[in-house]
Amino acid sequence: MANLKIGNIQLKEGLLLAPLAGINDIAFRRICVEHGASLVYTGMVNANALVRGNKATKKLAQTCDEERPVGIQMFGSNPETLAKAAKLVQDQADVIDINMGCPDKNVIKQGAGSALLKRPKRIGEIVNSVKKAIGVPLTVKIRSGVEVSSIEDTIKIAKIIEENGADALILHPRTAMQGGSGVADWNVIKEVKEYLSIPVIGNGGIKNISDAKSMMKETGCDGVMIGTAAMGNPFIFEKTEKKKTYEEIKETFYRYLEYAKHYEIENIFYLRMQAQLFFKGFHSAALFRKDMGYVDSIEELKKLIELNLGFNLGI
């Protein structure tokens, strides 16, 4: 994997963890860094709420030294509010990212996320305003369209983002309508890359490390960002195809639980979901998932994991 520099931040490599709202919490991001991720992003944070001082939102933007370099992603539609919010959190971030791709109804209703793709002028104003307000590099994450994927429109938007001072572009070549389904058209990444001088980070459809290498080779992108395939699977950043044993996963998941406790994100319903993601793919996973629905404390969760260990080892 090639070197990647975003603004003045030199990354070890170009292997990034995607913003994953509701999944990549502070503890999970730290685990991904320990397993080799070069840069991790928070899930999207509401800029309006951040400026209002909303406690829960502040918590979502919380980062720790152990996960650095870390990017904080924000969504919003007002250039001044986004700039204010970015300024508020820049001390705890190495990079700020603006979300211009989210298809969620509630986000679009505010004119944010993928709704911005229809307002190129506003995109320019946002990038300009945020860039001027902060001292850390700025990235912008976009999709290749709202209803229809368009190389021409995406190039136009990418150029506006570059001209207004962004330090890198993250491109997920699916439309907002597609959500996470269907094929990500890597050809769009290749085309856009030819028109930009700032680094282009490709995202979409990477299932394993050989896909990541293929994306770099086929598109010439400067770095890759992994989303779904990293969920419950921080091991993807180790760059080997070797399947982890149940015990290895257990050891990592217990470390995740320790961090979750440390950062006070110990909601059992949430941790149950994370356990399901970590342990998916084991032959007793179906049984495991069913039992997981009844677990209501961390002790019970661990008990179930230990029980399942015996099952997996054939004891």
229 lines the binding site for ligand FMN (CB under 6 A): yes
Binding to ligand FMN in span 112-171, by CB under 6 A: 141
Binding region for ligand FMN (CB under 6 A) out of 123-131, 202-210, 256-264, 277-285: 202-210
Measured from the CB of residue 228, what is the shortest distance to ligand FMN in angstroms?
3
219 lines the binding site for ligand FMN (CB under 6 A): no
In this chain, which of 7, 103, 204, 223 binds ligand FMN, going by CB under 6 A? 204
**DSSP-based three-state secondary structure for 196:** coil
Give the angle subtended at the CA of 94 by the CAs of 92 and 95, to the nearest 5°: 110
Residue position matching structure tokens 């999944």:
23
Binding region for ligand FMN (CB under 6 A) out of 1-9, 57-65, 200-208, 267-275: 200-208
220 lines the binding site for ligand FMN (CB under 6 A): no
Give the DSSP letter string of 32-58.
HHHTT-SEEEPPPEEHHHHHHT-HHHH
Compute CA 93 distance to the chain's CA centroid, rounded to the nearest angstrom.
Answer: 14
172 lines the binding site for ligand FMN (CB under 6 A): yes
In this chain, which of 44, 51, 209, 305 binds ligand FMN, going by CB under 6 A? 44
206 lines the binding site for ligand FMN (CB under 6 A): yes
- Structure-block tokens of residue 45: 């944070």
- Beta bridge partners of residue 223, listed in sequence order: 201
Measured from the CB of residue 297, what is the shortest distance to ligand FMN in angstroms?
25
Residue 72 host element (H or E): strand 70-75
102 part of the active site: yes
29 lines the binding site for ligand FMN (CB under 6 A): no
CB count in 10 Å sphere of residue 5: 15
CA–CA dist 159, 181 (Å, integer): 27
Q: Which residues bind ligand FMN (CB under 6 A)?
A: 18-23, 43-44, 73, 99, 101-102, 141, 172, 180, 203-206, 226-229
